[in-house]
Amino acid sequence: MKLTSKGRYAVMALVDLARFDNINPVSLRDISLRQGISLDYLEQIFSKLKKDQIVKSIRGTHGGYVLSKKPNEIKLTNIFHAVDEKVKTVQCKKESKKGCNGKSTKCVTHNLWDELENHINTFFEKKSLEDLLKNNIERRT
């Protein structure tokens, strides 16, 4: 299972982006300063987000990034998928056609991980950027 800082940063940055993306694009430098995330690292993350068309980039002075869709259309699943945070639990070796751990049958836990994966994905499919945004605005009033 992979769910690390990269995914967290991606979500934080996108919430930030969603909040300030009104008229002008938002520069990574601003996000970096506001969220306390290294600029260089943000660039890596945003290049992936762009590849998955979650954000659009605008170059040049006063350039920056803009969301490609509305906040309620961006689910957390999409974000994690973009930055390679696979909600994929321990792999039973799948290269070998044989089964898990070189045995001829599936290991007893094989189905378990599939179920867990579904369970987690359900959670992330329901949550959108907008949900987080709301939650955050409420808390700051």
What residue ranges bind its own copies (CB under 8 A)? 1-5, 7-8, 11-12, 15-16, 35-37, 76, 89-90, 92, 101-103, 105-109, 111-113, 115-116, 119-120, 123, 127, 132, 135-136, 139-140
If the CB atoms of residues 41 and 130 are measured against DNA, the closer one turns out to be 41
- The C-alpha angle 56, 59, 65, rounded to 5 degrees, equals 35
- Smallest distance from DNA to CB 133, Å: 20
Chain-centre distance for alpha carbon 25: 20
Chain-centre distance for alpha carbon 10: 5
Binding letters toward DNA, positions 25-64, x by CB under 7 A: xxxxx-------xxxxx-xx-xx--x------xxxxxxxx
Give one DSSP letter per residue of 44-110, joined into a string: HHHHHHHHTTSEEEE-STT-EEEESS-GGG-BHHHHHHHTT----------SSTT-GGG-SS--TTH
For residue 109, state whether it binds DNA (rule: CB under 7 A). no
If the CB atoms of residues 74 and 132 are measured against its own copies, the closer one turns out to be 132
For residue 19, state whether it binds DNA (rule: CB under 7 A). no
How much is the CA Rg of the chain, to the nearest whole Å?
18
If the CB atoms of residues 3 and 58 are measured against its own copies, the closer one turns out to be 3
